[in-house]
Amino acid sequence: DTGVSQDPRHKITKRGQNVTFRCDPISEHNRLYWYRQTLGQGPEFLTYFQNEAQLEKSRLLSDRFSAERPKGSFSTLEIQRTEQGDSAMYLCASSSPQANTEAFFGQGTRLTVV
């Protein structure tokens, strides 16, 4: 599979629990993005990596959220002490270093906090 892969596709968790999502980008892409999308809304930017460096973080990324890309390949997004408002689709995208190139999205992880 040469696309962006996200795991799991769906996650149901109880409020207060921690969850971790994984994203495997397209192998030659050094840029990786995380977005959050709630029902009826467009994706909202969370954070951006270039290789292993986290270069940009949105104010949406509260201190309960942490993202890593330790070896510049796959990335993880962890949410601690989940709240019901965290329920959303979490999308990962990757792109190559060249300007004006496509960003390819994964299928997303649907999180439901109950």
Partner 1 sequence: KNQVEQSPQSLIILEGKNCTLQCNYTVSPFSNLRWYKQDTGRGPVSLTIMTFSENTKSNGRYTATLDADTKQSSLHITASQLSDSASYICVVSSYQAGTALIFGKGTTLSVSS
Contact residues toward partner 1 (CB under 8 A) are 4, 6, 31, 33, 35, 40-45, 48, 55-56, 58, 89, 91, 93, 95, 99-108, 110
Neighbours of 91 (CB within 10 A): 21
Smallest distance from partner 1 to CB 110, Å: 7
Smallest distance from partner 1 to CB 101, Å: 8
Smallest distance from partner 1 to CB 91, Å: 6
* 43 close to 91: Cβ distance less than 8 angstroms: yes
Contacts of 36 (CB under 8 A, 6+ apart): 43, 44, 46, 60, 88, 89, 90, 91
Nearer to partner 1, 60 or 114 (CB): 60
Nearer to partner 1, 3 or 16 (CB): 3
Contacts of 100 (CB under 8 A, 6+ apart): none
Nearer to partner 1, 5 or 13 (CB): 5
* 82 close to 16: Cβ distance less than 8 angstroms: yes
Nearer to partner 1, 22 or 80 (CB): 22
